[in-house]
Structure 1
């Protein structure tokens, strides 16, 4: 079974010390999956990861972190969409510098293009007849005229359903995000933060991908 998940990369360090709220204990460089089942500490880790890229005024507590996030014109997070083949156990993850904010670029595959999925390694989508081959490290091998290494194969017609599933997961993630904001005590700023995350990561906007015949 092929699945597609919205993920962010856990940062090496969280800039605020001590953290402004409880954070899930996850190894740096691992992947946090975003969906309706996220616990409070996982949501807290997601929000802390967003703040890790921006300047937060001292003392770096809850209010300073949230104020800094709301002052940003753009929110970004290292990550994107992860492809997993549960039958083979193969996983293709976003490359370095790929961002969750660009997750919708996967729809370009439906018109014959491979979206930029990061580098080091360089994930890439190869169109093979009616199927797609998603390479974990496609770039360097491709330029030598050959492909090799870790990859996941999926039918081209399966992509719209996978993208719609990732979209539903992201929309579902807004529910634990909203509950977390209330429990942390953000009050009206909590609703504003949820709206900012929704807008910057294009979560609830319609996703116009149709099943292929």
Structure 2
């Protein structure tokens, strides 16, 4: 996540992957998605903003990341999640086409289904808490 006005960036920690993209819906109700281990990024709602900390908030650690965060309007999150789902669905479409052109048959179908299952792409996105 990058603030284009200030140039401040927050990067995911280790073990954070795209497959957890739906966890960002937790922020809408005040939770924080899994953003990985060290440096331990976290998200929180601050007034009408979503604040993403590089290292779990200003008092968690006093190392090089202490106090670094990026703010964005909380109201922007639902649309960003909808766009992420649309992009991932587009990837599934492209993967399906590739599997067909490669003549993978049932293995191609299984591959697309496995990617969809692992990334939870096609089920409806629950943004009711927004």
- Which TM-score tier does this pair reach, normalised by the shorter chain? 0.7 to 0.9
Query: What is aligned with 1:169?
Result: 87
Query: What is aligned with 2:70?
Result: 152
User: Are 2:113 and 1:198 equivalent residues in the alignment?
Assistant: no
Alignment of 1:55-204 (within 5 A): 83-135=1-53, 137-139=54-56, 141-144=58-61, 147-149=66-68, 151-204=69-122
Structure 1 residues not aligned, in runs of 5+: 1-82
2-side partners of 1:88 and 1:180: how far apart? 40
2-side partners of 1:114 and 1:211: how far apart? 14
Shift in alpha-carbon separation, 1:155–1:186, aligned structure 2, 3 A? same
1-side partners of 2:101 and 2:8: how far apart? 37
2-side partners of 1:153 and 1:197: how far apart? 31
User: In the TM superposition, what is the alpha-carbon distance from 1:94 to its structure 2 partner?
Assistant: 2.4
Task: Check the 8 A contact 1:164/1:209 in 2, yes or no.
Answer: no
Shift in alpha-carbon separation, 1:106–1:186, aligned structure 2, 3 A? same
Equivalenced residues, count: 128
Task: Check the 8 A contact 1:160/1:211 in 2, yes or no.
Answer: no
TM-score, structure 2 as length reference: 0.82
TM-score, structure 1 as length reference: 0.53
Q: Which moved more, 1:121-130 or 1:103-112?
A: 121-130
2-side partners of 1:93 and 1:114: how far apart? 15
